Amino acid sequence: MVKLATVLAGAEPLTQKTYNDTYRGQILLSEGETVQAIIKDLDERQLLNELFVASLAEPLELPVPAAFLAYAPTDRLNLKNGPISGEGRLCFASADVKVPNVAFQIEEANDEAKEKLLGDLRAWKGISATVAFDTWVANIDRHGGNLLVGGSDEFWLIDHGHCLTGNKWTPSDLVEDKVYRNKIAAMLKAELDDAEREKKCKEIDAFVAEILSVRVGSCRSASQIENLLTETDRDAAEGFLNKRQMHVSKCSKASLGAGSLV
């Protein structure tokens, strides 16, 4: 379950450029534990996306940092986008895994190190699962800035505010069998030969079997989204994710340019 937390004093803005105002600081859980976290000031739609998608990733054991719905009192962190709650606002927090993102690593790397990093990403055993998961949740913006890398086979998936077709989705945007933009699939499509593409498709099918076992309604209940947006929006998100499960394999393969393997 997504846990509730309170932002403690002392959070500092991240130095790197981010789409939303983002901070590094500590949060306090209800049971008294403190967690070093990345704290994001999100509007309601992005907040719902982050919380719902984190709850879907958990039963699949994907490398997504633990997620929290946090309360930030104004005197500790003066946010401007999250839902107002008492004397502060709600925000999204995730456990700080303390490794840099792929985009930063590439920017700092020489040509040899850059090629090794991209090769590690293509060879990562979780890359096919990531393609399938991003297809399922309609994540249209999985770029190098929201992939963290801690080693040759250690990647973390972060920043899910642009899932469900984007950060400004409405129920009419949620079409369960539509092929949405999948940036990781597009990257692989340009790099794989036919044999490698077929191998990735088999790995996708194996992971889709796990996706089909996820109970979306239970994940919704665990995600802390029930006071966000409208019931119509929440029901639309749940219905889309339920119906889309059976289309993940076909849509993922289409994104990889492997329509003949559907």
Q: What is the 3-state secondary structure (H, E, C) of 121-134?
A: HHHCCCHHHHHHHH
User: Are 43 and 82 a contacting pair, CB within 8 Å?
Assistant: yes
- Residue ranges, CATH 1.10.1070, the chain: 102-261
pLDDT over 70 (residue 135): yes
pLDDT over 60 (residue 34): yes
Structure-token match 């990093």, residue found: 117
Structure-token match 């998936």, residue found: 157
Phi/psi at 81 (5° precision): -110, -30
pTM as predicted:
0.95
Structure-token match 């590439």, residue found: 106
Show contacts of 188-191: CB within 8 Å, 24+ apart.
188/122, 188/127, 188/131, 188/256, 189/255, 189/256, 189/257, 191/122
Beta strand 3-7 with 12-13 is unpaired
- Residue ranges, CATH 3.30.200, the chain: 3-95
Cα(125)–Cα(127) distance, integer angstroms: 6
Q: Average the pLDDT over 107-114 and give the result.
A: 81
* 262 — pLDDT class (breaks 50, 70, 90): very low
The CA-based dihedral angle spanning residues 235, 46, 162, 135, taken in that order and rounded to the nearest 10 degrees: -30
Cα(121)–Cα(200) distance, integer angstroms: 13
Give the three-state DSSP class for 90. Answer: strand
Token pair in block for residue 58: 């958990």
Q: State residue 260's pLDDT score.
A: 53
Cα(83)–Cα(45) distance, integer angstroms: 10
- The length of the chain in residues reads 262
* Beta strands in the chain, from DSSP E residues, in sequence order: 3-7, 12-13, 22-29, 34-40, 67-73, 84-85, 88-95, 147-151, 154-157
CATH of 102-261, one of 1.20.1740, 1.10.1070, 2.60.40, 1.10.3470: 1.10.1070
Q: How many CB atoms lie within 10 A of CB 106?
A: 16
pLDDT over 70 (residue 235): yes
CATH of domain 3-95: 3.30.200
Beta bridge partners of 92: 40, 69
* 236 — pLDDT class (breaks 50, 70, 90): very high
Nearest to 59 by CA among 217, 239, 250, 261: 217
Q: State residue 123's pLDDT score.
A: 87
